Amino acid sequence: MKRYLFLICLLFQLLSSELFAQTEKSPFKLNPVADGIILGAGIAFTTSAVIAEKTLDFPEYTERSYDLDSVNFIDRKLSQKYDRTLDNLGTATCTVSLALPFAVYGAGFFNDFLSTEDILTLTTMYVEAYLFDYGAKNFLKMGIRRVRPYMYYDGYPKDKLDDYDFEFSSPSGHTTDSFLGAGFLSYTFCRYFPESKWKIPVIAASYTVALGTAALRISSGNHFLTDTIFGAALGTVCGIGVPLVHEFIALHSEKKETAFKKGSVHFSVTPVSVNWKIAL
């Protein structure tokens, strides 16, 4: 996996002159108060989800058999037995999806297309988005408690019974994370580099990996189709929603600065006169 991530970073390094063409002023801005609230809420949300998952008592597996006919038609037709190889492959593609923003923007930073302030802003937004993504998907899993597809077949993984993972099917966590990365990278890249000819390839690549993750989660027997659709929607909302908040902060800050400049008063003193000017 590290080798693949290195090759991705190297590829972006080689293409950086074209990839980051037309860099504009950062469309996003951090705010100490707003980001303190967002980060604090995200940490509290995620911590609560972790504590709840560790302390709440969920129904244990009782050697019961599950009837696949009770599942809706589409989910039933696409459901699969458990496949550990595809399970691990889905985890790998999910990791790539989450790492792609770091690879792209890391290349931009080391080639001087992005400043330290830009990287701090992007990193903060990504962390905030992931905190809400993590808390939301886990609370939903615990609230919905849908049994995974592999439990309807023989050969289900016994190691997933003790930690209640077998009944946390919806939404798909891997798909949620993958679409978080894809949505975040696609939206922020288009806002930072609106004239780049690589906009479409970046969007296509990020969402191809995310869709691949969703497909692998279905084919590995871990999730139903509707679990992945739910996860894709949730991840996209988190991945785009947080940057949208910071874009609003940037626009609001710019309007305040413009208003201040327009209403400012300038004084100058010389040995023979005092001059003043009001900018309206």
- What is the arithmetic mean of pLDDT over 168-177? 97
The pLDDT confidence band at residue 113, using thresholds 50, 70 and 90, is: confident
Give the pLDDT of residue 17: 52
For residue 171, whether the previous peptide bond is cis, meaning omega lies within 30 degrees of 0, is yes
Distance CA 278, CA 138 (A): 56
% residues pLDDT > 90 (the chain): 65
What integer is the mean pLDDT of 14-35?
72
pLDDT at 266 (0 to 100) = 47
More confident residue, 267 or 194: 194
Give yes or no for residue 260 having a pLDDT over 50: no
pTM as predicted: 0.84
Would you say residue 96 has pLDDT above 60?
A: yes
